[in-house]
Amino acid sequence: MSQCSLLLSVLGPAVAVDSVTPQPADDSASAAYHDETRRAVDEVLAMKEFADLNRDMMSWWLSFLQWMEKFALGIGKFFSSLPGWLWWTIVIWMILTLVAILAHFAYVMYGMIVSSGSRRAAKGAAKEGRGELLGIRDLEFDSVYRRARELLAAGSWAEATKFLYVAAILWLDRQGLVKFRASKTNYDYLGELVREPERRANLRELTNRFEVTVYGGQPSTSTNCQEMSALVEVLLREAHPVVSH
């Protein structure tokens, strides 16, 4: 049975009786009559069978707005009841928190802008040339390796150490095993040789000997330079097809 049919079935007898019942004459009796009729209808509509008739599509939204209004009034009442010093403490804390958030946002944006500018500058430098490494500007393998041999013969161990190590990196770059960039670290090149375990082991040994003298403060010696030269010779003997970058 539909809700309309059910409503008519409930109200039908009352309507039928009312249709033959004479209407009250005076105003007070008429008002009482209408009030009684309204109560009867409200009682019927309050039945669970008519729940859908009482459901307003905006009821949830209105209830939420009413709850928000009560919540805001409660917050306002709570703050108004606080001592003056505590109220100002909370306000100052909220202001400082907002300032900190804005400062962090500005810092992040500044970092992104600077980082973007640095990347563009690095790309521009890469287009202009290979850069400079350990004070060596002519970063061509032949000239660097030739200079390393001259420094070994002259007994300039500190300079020979630098040139030997740079020559090894440039040779691996020529063979297509690594990609030389002046901005890379020594361990970046080791990471690129992960599929070349023997060459990686040789470069790691060269790196260790290079770093203990150039960065570690140990004096350069003839023995260390000769052993580095031998490691470079091993790399030179390990032929590899040239791969264009």
| Residue-wise pLDDT tens digits, 59-83 | 667 777 888 888 888 877 777 777 8
Which residues belong to CATH 1.20.120 in the chain? 141-237
Q: How far apart are CA 67 and CA 11, in angstroms?
A: 37
- Neighbouring residues of 173: CB distance < 8 A, sequence distance ≥ 6: 141, 179, 180, 245
Q: Residue 137 pLDDT > 80, yes or no?
A: no
Cα of 96 vs its chain's centroid, Å: 24
Whether this prediction's pTM lies above 0.75 is answered by no
Average pLDDT over residues 49-56: 56
Q: How far apart are CA 82 and CA 85, in angstroms?
A: 8
Q: Does domain 141-237 match CATH 1.20.120?
A: yes
Q: How far apart are CA 71 and CA 66, in angstroms?
A: 8
- Confidence band, pLDDT 50/70/90 cuts, at residue 99: very high
